[in-house]
Structure 1
Amino acid sequence: MTTMTPRELLASMFTAAVDAAQPALCIPRNLPAPPKGRTVVIGAGKASAAMAQALERSWPGPLSGLVVTRYGYAVPCERIEIVEAAHPVPDTAGREAAQRMLRTVRGLSADDLVICLISGGGSALLPLPGEGVTLEDKQAINRALLASGASITEMNCVRRHLSAIKGGRLAAACHPARVVNLLISDVPGDNPMDIASGPTVGDPTTCADALEVVRRYGIDLPAGARRLLESGMGETVKPGNRRLDHVDTHIVASPQMALEAAADVARKAGVTPLILGDSIEGEARDVAKVMAGIALQVRRHGQPVAGPCVLLSGGETTVTIRGNGRGGRNVEFLLALAVALDGAPGIHALAGDTDGVDGAEEIAGAFVTPDTLARGWERGLPPRASLESNDAHTFFRALGDSLITGPTLTNVNDFRAIYVA
């Protein structure tokens, strides 16, 4: 039986989950053999700079390249240029990096190798608008999608069809060189086309699918973006296209790997882990109600497992923004969980984004304890009012329960752990 406190146990599981997805661990063992010709490295995402560094340190021959990551996530590289840009709302630095990346891979031969390092966040970091669409258009559409409650799959469908680099277009530009994709997944189901909106894999979805997402969530499209979709000119590169014949794709780290690493920590502490799923989606507060129901069933009836246990899950919930508070999907989940648990004894929880940023805040997530609600009331923060205004970061920071990690240099989506004594 563990001598750690519930908070210490939860924190150690989160650390193990993040460590399992570190590029230094997962990149070297997945590298291809050097080619006859050149080796060019490209990439985008919150983990891409760390992935590039791990590649450089293990690569036996010459290489060059360009990788774009989030501001504050760069790490030193000697042969691969690292560029920083904005996330989650794109900026001109990202657009310029995307343009340069396309130029970098043009004119390659069949003897050359392109190693593409992709991780979560890459979609916003490669914002090259399609014909008739401006960067300002993409920024506005991105903000609207983020606030709409659309799933990551739905958002990325729209992004791919408004882009000049996503949806397989970057891979097509590499032809006839061989392309090896090394992906760190941050999406439910680990579908490569949804990781950074799939710049180097084929996309079976269509402009019509993107228009349906826009209609479903009432997104106001600028005229140029609507024209691109309605004309079909925004169509992506489809699976089976000959320019994708020499593309190999490998998932090198995923949410499931992170959950299994956390489960190992629990077992060693004498706590039974139960992995509920690595791709759980839905409104954060709805998922929280379901998770609270499972935790209470464990507490009251020892089902589906007896305590002490920990309920583990990953995936990406969504938040439909109703208020103007400071929040993110993990802290929204936690505050809704605390409300649903209503101070039930013996239940503690942690939820956090494995990249260290929940929403737009430099805060990974937070902790919940049996007295979370009581401490909120003491500080003049009614929990339900904070939830309704999407102000969970303010709530947990006032309690001293924020989880702050700084840049983790990886990203395998959200991590949730509920400990039941």
Structure 2
Amino acid sequence: MAWTDAAARAALKDVFAAAVASADPRIVLARHLPDPPAGGRVVVVGAGKSAAVMAAAVEAAWPDQALTGLVVTRYGHGHPTSRIEVLEASHPVPDAAGAAAAERLLQAVGGLTEADLVLFLVSGGGSALTTLPAPGLTLDDLMAVNRALLASGATINEMNCIRRHLSAFSGGRLALAAAPARVVTLAISDVPGDDPAAIASGPTVPDPSSFEQARALVAHYRMDLPAAVVAHLAQAAEETPKPGDPRLGEVDYRFIATPRLALEAAAAKARALGLTPLILGDALEGEAREVGKVLAGIALSARAHGHPLPGPCLLLSGGETTVTIGPEVGGPDRGRGGRNGESLLGCAVALAGAPGIWALMGDTDGIDGSEDNAGAICAPDTLARARAAGLDPRAVLGRHDSYSLFQALDDLLVTGPTLTNVNDLRAVLVA
């Protein structure tokens, strides 16, 4: 078929929708549930952007099972439930509601027995939503840490190493509070490599990292942290539980959705649309604009030489890039936009208007950073239209203002909260 602009854009949106649908808890959660206990209690707790809809899926799968519990999700990401309470808190910057929710989650799993079951529902965003300071620290301290982490350029795994050592909830501490009850975790992964210790900072699994590693990361990224935080990391008074700790019992951790499964669903949709898909990886990391530049290079090679495959094809990748905000960009000079918009603009600049190449990059939770869009779409005429609108794409990229450019071109991808989160999806269509 001839790939018109309209057809290419529609195909990219269909592929993104297929990836999101593959991670919908209402479709995939039930088959991963354990058998309910014969005589004990069932307590459901959870945290993350998908926590509310996951709770609703549990209720639907167990309509006659006695359930108690509560989950915390991001403001605006709630979903109707009847037996499991839903709380809302702030993400990505934590607030007092999240700290209070974390305390209530710990209380909900206290005083249980070996006959009881704790079902922990976890998804991306759980770290910020359960930010409960370790003794001696305040919420303001951890909010300052979170801002420093988001601007540092650290990977999500590195961020969570630091968070676990400043928390009274993460790094296996929820499982400690639930002992000796059986704990089963149902997880939607949003981290590269699907590491359980990194998803929401691992409240129900042992922590393989240490205070020493957390201190090294702070030094490496030259983070300016509150004095109380620096002192807490230096004292290393109470290390997180490590692999083999008998207090945690046998870890039962089940993935119901992952970036890889979402990419496979996207690839299947691409084939149905007449495109040959190539999954480049589910854990691509790095500076967002540089990842975009690399993807542009691969697309240009496919277009010109048929390598790594000829068109019409679709290059797919997942993972989580980072955006490092330099000291020269701040205040009124700092623009709007998340990592997907920045990666896409970096890709568009590198493509330099090459014909026959379109791209979509978006966060599967529907929110790119803290804006109202999931991501955006670029086309062969993106740079020309931007310049016609009085925008300099390179200058816009320099001040991290991708949202404003794609908004001016009416090329934002706006889905609203999808109630799931398997990290970012990047799709480059080569006609």
TM-score by length of 1: 0.99
Structure 1 residues 292-303: aligned runs within 5 Å: 292-303=296-307
Is 1:51 aligned with 2:61? no
**1:32 alignment partner in structure 2:** 34
Letter in 1 for 2:424: D
Contact 1:71 1:86 survives alignment (8 Å): yes
Aligned length: 421
Q: CA deviation at 1:221?
A: 2.1
**2:395 alignment partner in structure 1:** 385
Q: CA deviation at 1:247?
A: 2.8
1:179-235 CA distances to partner (integer Å, 9 max, x unpaired)? 000000000000011101111111110001000111011112222212221111242
Is 1:156 aligned with 2:160? yes
Structure 1 CA distance for aligned equivalents of residues 40 and 384 of structure 2: 65
**2:417 alignment partner in structure 1:** 407
**1:19 alignment partner in structure 2:** 21
Is 1:395 aligned with 2:405? yes
Structure 2 CA distance for aligned equivalents of residues 174 and 310 of structure 1: 46
Letter in 2 for 1:238: K
Structure 1 CA distance for aligned equivalents of residues 226 and 33 of structure 2: 42
**1:103 alignment partner in structure 2:** 107
Contact 1:13 1:265 survives alignment (8 Å): yes
Q: Structure 2 residue aligned with 1:218, among 222, 225, 233?
A: 222
Letter in 2 for 1:227: A
Contact 1:176 1:246 survives alignment (8 Å): no
Contact 2:148 2:225 survives alignment (8 Å): no
Structure 1 residues 346-361: aligned runs within 5 Å: 346-361=356-371
Q: RMSD over aligned Cα, in angstroms?
A: 1.0
Letter in 2 for 1:418: V
Letter in 2 for 1:12: D
Contact 1:48 1:67 survives alignment (8 Å): yes
Q: CA deviation at 1:2?
A: 8.2
1:316-359 CA distances to partner (integer Å, 9 max, x unpaired)? 00000133100110000000000000000000000000001101
Contact 2:194 2:258 survives alignment (8 Å): yes
**2:383 alignment partner in structure 1:** 373
Structure 1 CA distance for aligned equivalents of residues 18 and 254 of structure 2: 22
Letter in 2 for 1:48: A
Structure 2 CA distance for aligned equivalents of residues 136 and 402 of structure 1: 33
Q: CA deviation at 1:167?
A: 0.2
Contact 1:87 1:121 survives alignment (8 Å): yes
Is 1:188 aligned with 2:192? yes
Letter in 1 for 2:315: L
**2:256 alignment partner in structure 1:** 252
SS in 1 for 2:283: strand
Structure 2 CA distance for aligned equivalents of residues 306 and 255 of structure 1: 25
**2:347 alignment partner in structure 1:** 337
1:103-132 CA distances to partner (integer Å, 9 max, x unpaired)? 111100000000000000000000100011
Structure 2 CA distance for aligned equivalents of residues 178 and 133 of structure 1: 31
SS in 1 for 2:282: strand
Question: Structure 1, unaligned stretches of length 5 or more?
Answer: none
Structure 2 CA distance for aligned equivalents of residues 51 and 163 of structure 1: 24
Structure 2 CA distance for aligned equivalents of residues 302 and 247 of structure 1: 47
Deviation above 3 Å: which 4+ runs of structure 1?
1-4
Structure 2 CA distance for aligned equivalents of residues 243 and 23 of structure 1: 30
TM-score by length of 2: 0.96
Structure 2 CA distance for aligned equivalents of residues 86 and 146 of structure 1: 15
* Percent identical residues: 60
**2:237 alignment partner in structure 1:** 233
Is 1:326 aligned with 2:336? yes
Q: CA deviation at 1:246?
A: 3.4
Q: CA deviation at 1:78?
A: 0.5
Q: CA deviation at 1:5?
A: 0.2
Contact 1:356 1:405 survives alignment (8 Å): yes
Contact 1:163 1:234 survives alignment (8 Å): no
Letter in 2 for 1:346: G
Contact 1:207 1:232 survives alignment (8 Å): yes
Structure 2 CA distance for aligned equivalents of residues 236 and 126 of structure 1: 16
